[in-house]
């Protein structure tokens, strides 16, 4: 009993925020941003664009590639840190795409969310609880960026990506490794900040909102370039494979320096590393399926190719999954 991977799709906003635009907002420059992140632009959701819009568009595209009727979907997992509704947005996506028979829920693991969602969905399929699942990574982080903080505003873009997984007699999910360490939480946060408000003499509550994204970039970089290669190597070991067997390395698109450092530590040549961070920025949980969509649509990735994926981000969380396409 196993799982196969049959469709991907992506949806990105039409608004483009370039490095030149940011240079007018904060003290920075195109050269400063490019040399530190590899990013030249990021795509930003319009004021009237909701997460459900992007997530549903990506899901519909993935279902079309998989040639799967939405009514046949049993499970919808939406990996996001920026829902339209804090009670959950997956059910809105379920309705929008016509997956009337599916159970739907949100999953939050920040930039690792898509990997965590993929592994979660696979458990339902491998046990034959469900037959068809769609995992969506979607975030609109522009809602929570401090646009006067040049350490973070240069990084993030918005978007959604989706992948269809189906039960199979042959398991194409070869291995995975998931990790969390709350001791490092303070390095990357989007935290609630409340003010005390008395209700009566003996009772007070906290009401407020979420503070903008705060990040210790140096610590996150150090964490990523050491821990991400390690989880990929552990996943390879469990699958009795080596880095030489990897056809494509698809990492969370945090910044190009991290992508280069991880690939270098694994010994994976640059032509096997998929990157779109220069054009899309860091789209959090959406970045891996967005990055996969174009090479799959162009048939650069072939059936049976070994894909090594890894996500890493707030929590701190990180994880890797190895699978063969198709």
Active site residues: 111, 252, 282
Burial of 267: CB neighbours in 10 Å, binned 0-12, 13-18, 19+: exposed
The rounded distance, in Å, linking the Cα atoms of 44 and 265 is 32
CB 23 within 8 A of CB 29: yes
Nearest CA to 25 out of 157, 156, 211, 150 is that of 150
Q: How many CB atoms lie within 10 A of CB 168?
A: 18
Q: Are 273 and 300 in contact (CB under 8 A)?
A: no
Contact by Cβ (8 Å): 302, 71:
no
Residues 273/243, Cβ–Cβ less than 8 Å: no
């Amino acid at each position: 009993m196993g799982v196969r991977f049959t469709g991907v799709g992506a949806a990105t906003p039409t608004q483009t925020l370039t490095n030149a635009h940011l240079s007018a907002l904060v003290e920075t420059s195109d050269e400063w941003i490019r040399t530190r992140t590899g990013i030249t632009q990021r795509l930003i959701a319009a004021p009237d664009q909701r997460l459900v819009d992007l997530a549903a568009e990506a899901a519909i595209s993935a279902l079309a590639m998989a040639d799967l009727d939405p009514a046949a979907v049993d499970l919808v997992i939406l990996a996001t840190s920026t829902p339209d509704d804090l009670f959950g947005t997956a059910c809105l996506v379920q309705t929008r795409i016509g997956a009337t028979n599916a159970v739907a829920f949100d999953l939050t693991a920040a930039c690792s969310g898509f990997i965590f969602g993929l592994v979660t969905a696979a458990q339902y399929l491998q046990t034959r609880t469900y037959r068809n699942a769609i995992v969506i990574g979607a975030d609109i982080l522009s809602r929570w960026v401090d646009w006067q903080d040049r350490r973070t505003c240069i990084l993030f873009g918005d978007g959604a990506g989706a992948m269809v997984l189906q039960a199979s007699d042959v398991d194409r999910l070869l291995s995975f490794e998931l990790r969390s360490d709350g001791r490092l939480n303070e390095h990357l946060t989007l935290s609630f900040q409340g003010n005390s408000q008395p209700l009566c003499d003996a009772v007070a509550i906290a009401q407020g909102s979420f503070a903008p994204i705060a990040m210790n970039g140096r610590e996150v970089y150090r964490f990523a370039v050491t821990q991400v290669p390690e989880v990929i190597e552990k996943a390879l070991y469990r699958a009795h494979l080596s880095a030489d067997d990897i056809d494509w390395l698809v990492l969370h698109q945090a910044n190009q320096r991290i992508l280069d450092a991880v690939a270098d530590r694994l010994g994976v040549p640059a032509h096997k590393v998929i990157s779109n961070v220069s054009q899309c920025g860091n789209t959090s949980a959406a970045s891996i399926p967005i990055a996969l969509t174009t090479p799959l649509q162009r048939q650069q990735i072939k059936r049976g190719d070994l894909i090594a994926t890894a996500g890493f981000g707030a929590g701190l969380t990180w994880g890797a999954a190895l699978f063969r396409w198709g």
